[in-house]
Amino acid sequence: MQKLLNIINYARAKDLYPDLHIIESPPDPEVIIEGKKVLMFTSNNYLGLATHPLIMQSAVDAIQKWGVGSDGSRLLSGNLQIHCDFERAIAAFKGGEDAIVWPSGYSANVGAISAIAQVLRVLPSDFFSLGTVIISDELNHASIIDGARLSKQRKVVYRHCDMSDLASLLRRFRFRRKVVVTDSIFSMDGDIAPLDKIAELCKKYNAMLMIDEAHATGILGKTGHGSLEHFNLKPTADVDIVLGTCSKALAATGGFVVGSKELTDYLRVASRSYMFSTAMMPAASAALITALKVIETEPWRREKLWANAEYLRAGFYDAGFNTLTSKTQIIPVLIGEDDKAISFSRKLYERGIFAPAVRWPAVAKKFARLRITLMATHTKEQLDYLLKSCKEIAGELGIKK
């Protein structure tokens, strides 16, 4: 225990421990934090669906019908009809044959990657075959990294969105079973993986392809169906495993995989985080079914989100800030040093803006930043106030833009 205390004391002494604020209201553009009204610029509620009346009512109705909890794991007493209904809905939304749902996006990634990479050994030949090689983008989410670790298979990393480096690794492991894993939209830089090129390379070198649609579902594509729609790709035919979370644009909780019926049947008996977790709350499944319908019937939300992102990114650019390679609703504002990023975030909070600093180990050293995320429900006036405040604070801290 003393070793743990030493670590915590060190983090606090070096100002490394995060500022943990208590939010006292729903995730709207304006929230109450510890009695103070502030603008929210770090929410994943991209389309503003968390407080949509129809979605909220669906959750209430589900509680009235199903109760609060799911009672057990999906393989025992927790396999509710409402969960199956959502699986059919998300499979149809993504254009896949079938879907399987976990109680969280993290458990979906950990459970899917470890099960797919470390294949169950049931035939004599399985015990003599070489293991799987997991080929992962260097900026993939922590849940992908942890899933690869838990698989106990070999993991290699390719440079971020570098197709030459990926091709080199695929050639190197030409005769091994391979799984390429990448985020669609990267959570810290806000850029988009070149999935069309990745899919082409995977076909050429006979590798499975798994993508994480956490920040792309509801956002990318002509109708918001995600990165496959954006790149005109198909589940199974072009991308073997389409994974996503339900806690971003879909505004609830859970994680899913869409793919072939054979894939989902396998994961139901091979993914430990699926087999040994209580199923998601029925209210979440009900809310998610309605959220998918709202995305289809209210396209203005996605359109407004993209307009907000383009406006704010252009504003930061005109003011001399570095937003790295962002092309989406996630806009990093590079500050550099950890201490300056922390000071910047705290000064924003003093001005009524909640935009926490992200620093090492979440990002590389010298790349500390504000991670700005936008909602469709942000107003132009709110965006302008953020830009104005950032310009003033940069001057106060002597930050070269």
Q: What is the pLDDT of residues 263-288, one digit of tens each?
A: 999 999 999 999 999 999 999 999 99
Token pair, residue 25, equals: 């209201």
Q: What is the mean pLDDT of residues 294-299?
A: 98
Q: Are 205 and 172 in contact (CB under 8 A)?
A: no
Task: Give me the catalytic one of 107, 151, 184, 187.
Answer: 187
Residue 380 appears among annotated catalytic residues: no
Rounded CA separation 209/137 (Å): 12
Q: In angstroms, rounded to a whole number, what is the distance separating the alpha carbons of residues 117 and 271?
A: 11
Q: What is the rounded average pLDDT of the residues 103-119? A: 95
Number of residues in the chain: 401
pLDDT attached to residue 123: 62
Euclidean distance between CA atoms 234 and 94, whole angstroms: 9
State the pLDDT confidence band at 296, using cuts at 50, 70 and 90: very high
Amino acid occupying residue 120: L
Percent of the chain exceeding pLDDT 90 equals 87
Q: What are the φ/ψ torsions at residue 376 (nearest 5 degrees)?
A: -60, -25
What pLDDT sits at residue 12? 85
pLDDT at residue 126, rounded to an integer: 60
- With bands split at pLDDT 50, 70 and 90, how would you rate the model's confidence at 18? confident
**Catalytic choice (94, 178, 248, 304):** 248
Q: Does 227 participate in catalysis according to the annotation?
A: no
Residue 128, pLDDT > 60, answer no
Active-site residue flag, 215: yes
How many CA atoms lie less than 13 Å away from 29 in the CB half-sphere? 16
Query: What are the C-alpha distances in Å from 184 to residues 161, 258, 290?
Result: 10, 15, 24
Phi, psi values for residue 227, rounded to 5°: -70, -30
- Note the pLDDT of residue 9: 87
Tokens 């992200």 belong to residue: 358
Q: What confidence tens digit (pLDDT) does each residue in 309-340 have?
A: 999 999 999 999 999 999 999 999 999 999 99
342 has a pLDDT exceeding 60? yes
Give the other-Cβ count within 10 Å of 90's Cβ: 27
| Of 21-25, 57-61, 396-400, highest mean pLDDT | 57-61
* pLDDT on residue 122: 62
DSSP state at residue 103? S
Tell me the two tokens of residue 161. Answer: 């969105």
Average pLDDT, the chain: 94
Question: Among the options 155, 215, 225, 230, which is catalytic?
Answer: 215
Q: Return the axis-axis angle of helices 81-94 and 282-297, rounded to nearest 10°.
A: 30
Say how far apart CA 93 and CA 60 lie, in whole Å: 23
Question: Helix (H, G, I), strand (E, B), or coil: what is residue 20?
Answer: coil
Distances (CA, A) of 98 to 201, 216, 256, 264: 25, 19, 10, 7
pLDDT digits (tens, 9 = 90+) for 29-46: 999 999 999 999 999 999
pLDDT at 395: 92
